[in-house]
Chain A
Amino acid sequence: MANIAALDPLQSFTGPDWAQAARREAWEVFSATRWPLRTDKGWRQTDVTGIQFDEMVATGSLIGKAQPIAPQENGVIVADLRTALETHPDLVRDHLVRFPQDRVDLKFTSLARALWTDGIFVYVPKDVEVVVPHLLAEFGTTRLFCPRLLVVVEAGAKLTIFDEHASSDFDESRMSCGIVDLFVGDGAEVKYIHLNGWGKNVFNFHHMRAEIGQDAKFISLTLGLGSSLTKATIEAVLAGRGAQSDLFGLVFGSGEQVFDHHTVQHHAAGQTPSNILYKVALTDKARSTYSGMIRIEHGAQQSNAYQSNKNILLSHESHADTIPNLEILANDVRCTHGATVAPVDETQIFYMQTRGIQEEEAKRMIVEGFLEQVVDEAALGDLDELIRGKVSNRIVKRYQ
């Protein structure tokens, strides 16, 4: 029987020595860490003990697919990450080997760091402006897939990027362990859109981390639409004075889907504004946990953090948890969070019914309107229509 623990992180990996060392180090951490239990911090809401992790290996190779599609000009690089290890080691190395270990999902991030095979490297030189309209990661023939995205944006540059994880439905369970690292240089501006469009029976573990430089701006939109179970961390580190982050997210859950999204607004430097809007709509037996952490470090004065989480429950079997946390170690700050769980407005449904719209159709329209506000606020420009279409298709699919 195949077993994850019996894998060799260096098997069929021929990268440079430093990359091999990083894999070995991650593998040691992975081996020394156990799979999370229900009693572990960060895992109290979402039970993963029933997942047969050890069986999530390919009998063959570990290869999924991650396809780079983009024009490359003005020094912009959109390349296969394995190739970039050889061709641009100086741009990749420092960013790739950084390995924060104080994470509740360490078991999964260390696994991904040790075993990733397919990944994409995006590089935008100083003061260049570019749109990468579509990166796609999808399962190949394996049960375990570790897609990896590394984005380095130099000072003053601007990047908009759409990163989609998608697959069809599967009969047997599969696992995706994804890592996204974004480095936003001083004064740069990055808009990152991530779509979780995994099919049925995919267990999705995902960690996105953005490190934001001085006076830089980071906007992300996370669309939680697919997978059977998702445990995702979306982390913005405001590392330089004047750095700004806006994290937007939406979740639509139906059937027996489970979503557990954790956001982090980490104010490591002063004069940093951050903002979160997360909206969750659930029907059938879907469950969602939203937990958010605003942490303002000692000395990060004149920070201003806002966090809002809104949930609607459309069925008696759905369940929502919301845990908006604050840890504030500086005094000259402004910090506000709000969370609500509310029913669908019956008068709205009644009104639409009087106009001849069926109840289910009315609910669909209300949910779309509720979630679309997030897309509106993320102000995606050229990608707006594409994203709206993806969200709408997903909701329509449930209400057909």
Chain B
Amino acid sequence: MSEAAIIQDIGSNYEYGFHDVEKSVFKSGRGLTREIVETISEMKGEPDWMRQFRLKALDIFLKKPMPTFGNTALLNAIDFDNIFYYVKPSDRAEKSWDDVPDDIKNTFNKIGIPEAEQKFLAGVSAQYDSEVVYHKMRSSLVDQGVIFLDMDTGVREHPDIVKKYISTVIPIADNKFSALNSAVWSGGSFIYVPEGVHVEIPLQAYFRINTENMGQFERTLIIADKGSRVHYIEGCTAPVYTTDSLHSAVVELIAMEGAHLRYTTIQNWSKNVYNLVTKRAVAYKNATVEWVDGNLGSKLTMKYPAIFLMGEGARGETLSVAFAGKDQHQDAGAKMVHCAPNTTSTVLSKSISKDGGRATYRGLVEVQKGCHGAKSNVRCDALLMDEESRTDTYPTMKIDEPGVSIEHEATVSKVGQEQLFYLMSRGLSEGEATTMIVNGFFEPFAKELPLEYAVELNRLIQLEMEGSVG
């Protein structure tokens, strides 16, 4: 293949773009109505409080204006009337892959989920369109009282905990898309880790969209009780279609005193998916919350994982990487809100823009009055691979307390000619040299991933970078 052809080819290298023939057991009509919301609630056999919760959220969604920041042109192109809000692929979440319908099982086989489960995961949840089709956790964790369920089952089996915490971190009315999710949510994970329990091996959820014009609205709530530890990983892919799908999750994390909660995302949606997600955590006294957020896919991502540092000594860390290729806008970032003294936060953001792609860092560091001894360090690095691409940095720092130390730094550059020259003088082709530099650029992120994921990430980068320098 000529170099020009290779360049042309990039972006069509998406290997998760296949789709199954649709065999859903239930599919709502297009568009959002009160009836659809009531049908979802009824089919799930929900208690009345959840039904009311959904209906209230629907009213808020309909009244709330669209966001006025970010890529408003793309946002306003979303056709809410063309979306399927609920597509039920199978009757229940199975505990054995053998019981999962063949098509769906094959899909997850191709993505490699069952294999990963055996190798390095303590529990797996696999969601296909609106519902979780497979769910299993190691029995040792069950014995320790760890709860890892799909959210629907969570509502059924632990209504008290869910009712107590749901939407306490992200109010329904937080933004238009959190309201939408609250109205039509389906699937997602519910996790509770009891006091002092350390879940040493990651739990994982995998989200797969199959249906065209699908809207996927999973809802996740993770509670790490005092002194506990847990690492949760999510991955996501979708078929390539010519028309758009919408993924709009709400993820709430609660880290009680001394808990350690890490949430890793490898987002690799196809380029016809809008990914508009609200993620927020609260960290109490001496707790640590980490968001490790990788955005490789989607058409438009808008996602700013937040950590509210509520107790003295709480720590927040966000590591965010974005890869914006052709026809992609990655609008990602981090928010750190210091509400207690001696809290610390760090943000490291890395982005690469290529083939006309656009990467945006949008962030907030806020230190409220009385939070003496707060420290925050934000660092953003952006690489631009060609002159068609674009990068933006929009950080905001609001400081209400004198005894604090707040730093923000950002650099934008292209791949260094000197570095390239050096590597090429050692016999690497320009493409190989560039890939190596980019891998190095992403290294701090890859390092935080379980080995298998790091390998996968490097491979993805390689695919994206092939022939990118001409």
Contacts and interface: CB of A to CB of B under 8 A. Distances in A.
A336 B369 contact: no
Interface in B366-387: 367, 369, 382, 384-387
Given A322-B408, A324-B408, A334 B413 contact: yes
Interface residues of B, number: 34
A328 B408 contact: no
Contacts of B385: 331
Given A325-B392, A336-B410, A331 B399 contact: no
Contacts of A343: 402-405
Contacts of B409: 336-338
A321 interface: yes
Interface string B409-429: 111111000000000000000
A280 B404 CA distance: 15
Nearest to B392: A327
Contacts of B174: none
Given A323-B394, A326-B393, A311 B399 contact: yes
Contact of B408 (A313, A316, A333, A339): A339
A178 to B, nearest CB: 27
Contact of A319 (B400, B408, B410): B400
Contacts of B406: 339-342
B392 A328 contact: yes
Residue of A301, A341, A342 ringed by the most chain B CB atoms within 10 A: A341
A323 B395 contact: yes
A298 B358 CA distance: 13
B390 A325 contact: no
A55 B398 CA distance: 32
A326 B401 contact: no
A318 interface: yes
Interface string A295-339: 000110100000000010111101111111111111111111111
Interface in A219-275: none
Nearest to B378: A339
A323 B399 contact: no
B342 to A, nearest CB: 14
Contact of A341 (B387, B394, B395, B397): B397
A313 B399 contact: yes
Contact of A328 (B391, B403, B404): B391
B412 A341 contact: no
Contacts of B68: 41
B414 A337 contact: no
Contacts of A332: 387, 414
A331 B408 contact: no
Nearest to A311: B399
B412 A328 contact: yes
A101 B179 CA distance: 36
A338 B407 contact: yes
Contacts of B413: 333-335
Contacts of B404: 341-343
Contacts of A325: 392-395
A301 B387 contact: yes
B402 A340 contact: no
B396 interface: yes
Contacts of A342: 404-406
A331 B393 contact: no
B73 to A, nearest CB: 15
B387 A313 contact: no
A332 B409 CA distance: 20
Interface string A147-183: 0000000000000000000000000000000000000
B120 to A, nearest CB: 38
Contacts of A344: 402
B468 to A, nearest CB: 12
Contacts of A333: 384, 412-414
Contacts of A320: 397, 399
A127 B60 CA distance: 65
Contacts of A319: 398-400
A325 B414 CA distance: 18
A341 B399 contact: yes
Given A323-B396, A326-B393, A331 B387 contact: yes
Contacts of B392: 325-328
A326 B387 contact: no
Nearest to B379: A338
Nearest to B414: A331
A41 B69 CA distance: 9
A320 B408 CA distance: 14
Best-buried of A325, A326, A336 by chain B (most CB within 10 Å): A326
B389 interface: yes
Nearest to A346: B403
Nearest to A338: B409
A247 B384 CA distance: 26
Contact of B398 (A299, A321, A334): A321
Contacts of B386: 331
Nearest to A282: B402
B394 A336 contact: no
Nearest to A321: B398
Nearest to B369: A316
A324 B393 contact: yes
Interface in A323-370: 323-344
A331 B389 contact: yes
Nearest to B387: A331
Given A328-B382, A328-B384, A335 B389 contact: no
Contact of B402 (A315, A321, A335, A337): A315
Nearest to A320: B399
Nearest to A339: B408
B412 A326 contact: yes
A317 to B, nearest CB: 9
Contact of B397 (A299, A316, A323, A331): A323
A333 B394 CA distance: 18
Contacts of A318: 402
B50 to A, nearest CB: 33
A60 B396 CA distance: 44
Given A324-B408, A331-B386, A339 B414 contact: no
A324 B399 contact: no
B412 A313 contact: no
Nearest to A337: B410
B397 A339 contact: yes
Contacts of A41: 68
Contacts of B402: 313-316, 318, 343-344
A134 B411 CA distance: 39
Nearest to B374: A341
B307 to A, nearest CB: 19
Given A318-B402, A340-B406, 6 more contacts: A299-B387, A323-B395, A328-B384, A339-B406, A343-B402, A343-B403
Interface of A: 41, 298-299, 301, 311, 313-316, 318-344
17 contacts: A41-B68, A313-B399, A313-B402, A319-B398, A320-B397, A320-B399, A322-B408, A325-B392, A331-B384, A332-B387, A334-B412, A335-B412, A336-B411, A337-B409, A337-B410, A338-B410, A339-B406
Top 5 A-B residue pairs of the complex, sorted by shortest distance between their CB atoms: A331-B384, A313-B402, A326-B393, A335-B412, A341-B406
